[in-house]
């Protein structure tokens, strides 16, 4: 993956409109600005030689943390040339979110792990009171399944409607189902990227 190019494209779609005064309106213009930003750091921050967590730690230390005082030239550039935008571009609301999306695409389903969990799930029914609890869960999920249609033209609305269920909603409100509200938030803020993640999820050949 060409991280710099992909991030440039992401910024043009998701970055604040005010950023365009700094980095322009084309991928090439954004890439040139990212090269300028990159030149102030001792590593290539747009090349994922290390894992994403290590890169984030490096950026935190050098932008927000103990090492920020050692990179005065970057902060002078950030203030004089970019009016604070270079720092924001590398920060938690932009580059960090983009890196999180990369991390999501790299997650693959382990078939052996799936088999292990499925075996444990079947064994769970041997315990008393488990059957009624599971019937309730499947009653809820059946409603979602009946309304789920990934071929819908409006996938965001379909997703939200699918999880509007009848009956008790204590299961929905539990911590186990936090991903529903989080995914809804992702659809609202990063529609294209989230749809692409679901497309990858439903592509059996990619697992």
> pLDDT tens-digit profile of 69-110?
888 999 999 999 889 999 999 998 999 999 988 877 665 555
125 and 40 together in one domain: no
- The answer to whether 131 and 139 are in contact (CB under 8 A) is no
Last residue of a domain, one of 105, 132, 159: 105
Radius of gyration of the chain (CA): 22
Taking each helix axis from N to C terminus, what angle separates 178-189 and 191-202, rounded to the nearest 10 degrees?
120
Q: Are residues 118 and 184 in the same domain?
A: yes
Do 170 and 134 lie in a common domain? Answer: yes
How many folded domains does the chain comprise?
A: 2
Give the model's pLDDT for residue 9. Answer: 94
**By residue range, what is the domain housing residue 189?**
111-206
The verdict on 91 and 119 lying in the same domain is: no
Q: What is the pLDDT of residue 46?
A: 95
CA–CA separation, 187 vs 53, rounded Å?
24
Regarding whether 143 and 69 lie in a shared domain, the answer is: no
**Residue 135 and residue 71 share a domain:** no
- Identify the burial level of 33 via C-beta atoms within 10 angstroms of its C-beta, where 0-12 means exposed, 13-18 middle and 19 or more buried: buried
Domain identity same for 95 and 115: no
Chain-centre distance for alpha carbon 126: 38
In this structure, the answer to whether residues 195 and 127 fall within a common structural domain is: yes
Do 127 and 190 fall into the same domain? yes
38 and 75 inside one domain: yes
What's the residue count for the chain? 207
pLDDT band at 19, cuts 50/70/90?
very high
Closest by Cα among 12, 190, 5 to 101: 190
Helix (H, G, I), strand (E, B) or coil at 152: coil
Q: Are residues 92 and 76 in the same domain?
A: yes
Question: Which of 105, 125, 151 is at the close of a domain?
Answer: 105
Residue finishing a domain among 105, 134, 165:
105
* 77/126 same-domain check: no
Percent of the chain predicted with pLDDT > 90: 35
Residue 24: band (very low, low, confident or very high) from pLDDT cuts 50, 70, 90 = very high
Better pLDDT: 170 or 188: 188
All residues at 6 or more sequence positions from 4 whose CB lies less than 8 Å from its CB, including other chains: 31, 34, 35, 38, 46
For the cut 90, the answer to whether the pLDDT of residue 144 exceeds it is no
DSSP state of 19: G
């Amino acid at each position: 993956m060409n991280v710099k190019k992909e991030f440039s494209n992401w910024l043009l779609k998701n970055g604040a409109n005010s950023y365009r005064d700094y980095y322009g309106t084309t991928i090439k213009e954004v890439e040139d600005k990212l090269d300028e930003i990159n030149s102030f750091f001792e590593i290539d921050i747009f090349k994922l030689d290390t894992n994403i967590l290590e890169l984030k730690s490096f950026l935190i230390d050098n932008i927000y943390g103990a090492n920020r005082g050692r990179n005065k030239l970057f902060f002078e550039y950030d203030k004089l040339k970019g009016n604070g935008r270079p720092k924001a571009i590398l920060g938690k609301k932009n580059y960090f979110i983009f890196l999180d999306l990369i991390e999501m695409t790299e997650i693959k389903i382990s078939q052996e792990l799936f088999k292990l969990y499925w075996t444990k799930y079947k064994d769970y029914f041997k315990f008393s009171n488990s059957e009624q609890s599971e019937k309730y869960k499947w009653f809820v999920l059946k409603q979602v399944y009946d309304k789920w249609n990934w071929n819908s033209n409006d996938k965001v609305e379909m997703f939200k409607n699918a999880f509007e269920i009848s009956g008790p909603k204590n299961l929905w409100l539990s911590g186990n189902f936090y991903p529903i509200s989080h995914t809804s938030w992702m659809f609202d803020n990063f529609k294209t990227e989230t749809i692409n993640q679901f497309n990858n999820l439903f592509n059996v050949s990619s697992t």
